[in-house]
Amino acid sequence: MKLISFWINRIKKNKVISTILVACFFILCLLVFITVQAIVETENWKFFDIDFINKENIISGYSALLGAILSSISIILLVYTIYLQSAESKKQKKRFKKQHALQKKQFDSEKLIAENKERSSKFSLIKLISVFLDSIIKHI
């Protein structure tokens, strides 16, 4: 039940998903309507008993409509997949920028720490040289 409510909330929030689902639903309804019309037009209809010889125009027309409807559904789903990939690409780009900023900040802080250590070691060396020079001057 939670899964169904999750998908319903997700569909309500995303207009593209709801539009695509409505379009697929209408196309499938059209497919059912055309199939029912083809069945009603055939006299003494029997399940899976299709006469390919006497009803050549009806069957070829129905197959052409069926192919067109199914290809339009596949095109709609293809467009939806491209939309999802585009959205994921934008999210990934944002994550990459955020991660890059964090890495740059960490690199800068490590660089600053290294510079401070180097300054500290040089300052200690200067103090040592100063003490050494002071002791040499006192002995002269």
Where along the chain do its domains lie? 2-139
List pLDDT tens digits, range 43-61. 665 665 555 566 666 667 7
List pLDDT tens digits, range 8-30. 666 667 777 777 777 778 878 88
| Cα maximum dimension of the chain | 129
Report in angstroms the alpha-carbon separations of 74 from 32, 48, 77, 82, 95: 17, 26, 5, 12, 31
- Is the pTM value of this prediction over 0.75? no
Q: How many CB atoms lie within 10 A of CB 38?
A: 19
